[in-house]
Amino acid sequence: MTTDNSSNSPLIKVRGLCKAFTGIEALKNISVDIFQGDVAFIVGPSGSGKSTFLRCLNRLEEPTGGSIFFDGEDICDKTCNIDLHRQKMGMVFQQFNLFPHLTVMRNLTIGPMKLQNKTKEEAEAKADALLKRVGLSDRRDAYPNQLSGGQKQRIAICRSLCMNPEVMLFDEPTSALDPEMVGEVLNVMRELANEKMTMVVVTHEMGFAREVANRVFFMADGEILEENAPVAFFDHPQNERLRSFLRSVL
Amino acid sequence: MSDLVNSFYQNFIEKDRYQYLLDGLKNTLIVTFFAVLIGIAIGFILAIIRSTYDNTKKLKILNFFANVYLTVIRGTPVVLQLLITYFVIFASVNISKLLVAIIAFGINSGAYVAEIIRSGINSIDRGQFEAGRSLGFSYAQTMIYFILPQALKNVLPALGNEFVVLLKETSVAGYIALQDLTKGADIIRSQTYSAFMPLVMAAAIYLVMVIAFDYLIKRLERRLRSSDH
């Protein structure tokens, strides 16, 4: 699975990223490069800063130090238009966060129509194609509360994809799902990875990380302690914290 | 029985006294309708100022004035607000009593509507806000497309109740000698010296209006709930 990206410049370049909440240093001086086509998984114990790191990448969480370059522009700079960059960074949440007052179709089309000046026909054609891909064409006129958790998360992934993002951020996308629904969401993510969508995924699904990722990061106490290709990461962990973490979850 | 018929004739038919009730009803409805519009406008603006400050710490100065307004309006009786508006603020201006009542009741209602809408905004899960922002919607767009529609749906019963309260509160408009429904009934009483018939009739008219309004709100609620199966 490992691909050679060294010739490209990174899509996301994180330098010295810090985030402090009152009294807690959630992120300590993190520097990472994410390249086009990377499927980067971040694992680690809860409270280690994984989600905070991911949420800093599109500034849902405001970093307190460092810089994040996306497409070469520092998005932590106060003068940059973060809303434009967010259109190119899809985000999938643990709690789905579909808009309950809008139909599935409207959830998918409101972004492209309001933000990218797509016509209704263009937006719906794109949405229909995505719904077909995730097997939910028959739910296009349903409201989110009529869907199962797995269906909601697949729709949420489609909602982000409708914006044609350059990178997809996944924040524990299967953690709120009943076990029998995890598979359907992972299948969609696996397909995305196969199509070389750039993905950054925070998850507790170790088997899935090993199968799909090309890079795996281990975070603990707000720092990245180890990074490796999945086979080496899971079979020959170097860091002692990672070894004990893997012993406890595998 | 014939007493009742006589009393009815004397209070409403004789000398066309029903006109007092009709004119009064018209003024009550005018004042309520426009005060509701002003109240909604003020309420919306204040609610957005207050929750924007709560979420982002921006609009600090506007938020301060909003708080002063809310405290003063909610902390003083509406009758005094009406009297002060008429006899102090517009004392030296020749202005219709109807307009004064609309302004006073609108400003009063705005404070309550603001708190209702703000509680509705606060009732929306933070994830909704993050979902909107993560797609690239601005703060204002996220409010308009995702937060406010859901917030309004949640507070519709409370808003409906506020407008029922407002409709009835306008009955103190007689304090500035504006002839509303209550005042109209009272004028009849002072002419015929019979209290029962005109006052109970006025009360019945308020009651019918409130019941009709409640019915409309319930229907609207049912329609908006179509996404909550």
Q: Which residue has the tokens 């179509």?
A: B226
Type of residue numbered B72: V
- pLDDT higher than threshold 60 for residue A148: yes
pLDDT at A6: 47
Give contacts of A146 with chain B, Cβ < 8 Å: 229
Q: Does A139 touch chain B (CB under 8 A)?
A: no
pLDDT mean across residues, chain A: 93
pLDDT at B227: 63
Alpha-carbon distance of B29 to B100, in angstroms, equals 15
Mean pLDDT per 10-residue segment, chain B (229 residues): 85 88 95 96 95 90 96 96 95 92 97 96 96 96 96 93 95 94 94 92 96 93 73
- pLDDT higher than threshold 60 for residue A5: no
Q: Pick from B130, B145, B229: which is nearest to A146 by CB?
A: B229
Alpha-carbon distance of A90 to A163, in angstroms, equals 8
Q: Is the ipTM of this complex over 0.95?
A: no
For chain B, domain boundaries: 2-227
Q: Which residue has the tokens 């998005």?
A: A75
How far CA A138 is from CA of A52, A86, A180, B175, in Å, comes to: 36, 29, 21, 62
Alpha-carbon distance of B123 to B156, in angstroms, equals 13
Centre a 10 Å sphere on the Cβ of residue A48 and count the other Cβ atoms it contains.
Answer: 24
- Residues A88-117: tens digit of each pLDDT: 999 999 999 999 999 999 999 999 999 999
Q: Name the DSSP class of A177.
A: S
DSSP string, A57-76: HTTSS--SEEEEEETTEETT
Alpha-carbon distance of B153 to B140, in angstroms, equals 19
How far CA A59 is from CA of A70, A77, A105, A202, in Å, comes to: 12, 11, 27, 16
- With a pLDDT cut of 70, the percent of chain A lying above it is 97
- pLDDT higher than threshold 70 for residue A8: no
Closest residue by Cα to residue B25 from B170, B175, B194, B217: B170
Alpha-carbon distance of A28 to A35, in angstroms, equals 22
CB–CB of A143 and B229 under 8 A? yes
Please check whether residue A190 is in contact with residue A183, taking contact to mean a CB–CB distance below 8 angstroms: no
- pLDDT higher than threshold 60 for residue A141: yes
Closest residue by Cα to residue A186 from A218, A153, A158, A216: A153
Where does the pLDDT of residue A7 fall: very low under 50, low under 70, confident under 90, or very high at 90 and above?
low
Closest residue by Cα to residue A159 from A174, A181, A140, A186: A140
E runs forming strands in A105-196: 167-171
Q: Does A193 touch chain B (CB under 8 A)?
A: no
CB interface of B with A, residues 48-77, below 8 Å: none
CB–CB of B136 and A146 under 8 A? no
pLDDT at A118: 96
Please check whether residue B194 is in contact with residue B7, taking contact to mean a CB–CB distance below 8 angstroms: yes
Closest residue by Cα to residue B21 from B198, B167, B178: B198
The residue among A57, A86, A161 with the most chain B CBs within 10 A of its CB, best to mutate, is A86
CB–CB of A115 and B136 under 8 A? yes
- Residues A42-59: tens digit of each pLDDT: 999 998 999 999 999 999
CATH of domain B2-227: 1.10.3720.10
CB–CB of A60 and B134 under 8 A? yes
- pLDDT higher than threshold 60 for residue A4: no
Beta bridge partners of A199: A39, A168
The residue among A94, A96, A99, A157 with the most chain B CBs within 10 A of its CB, best to mutate, is A99
A149-175 mean pLDDT: 97
Type of residue numbered B195: A
pLDDT at A2: 44
Please check whether residue B8 is in contact with residue B204, taking contact to mean a CB–CB distance below 8 angstroms: no
Q: Pick from B128, B133, B226: which is nearest to A99 by CB?
A: B128
Alpha-carbon distance of A85 to A115, in angstroms, equals 12
Stated as kind and residue range, the H or E segment containing A30 is: strand A24-34
User: Hey, what are B168's tokens?
Assistant: 């009835």
Torsions phi, psi of A198, nearest 5? -70, 125
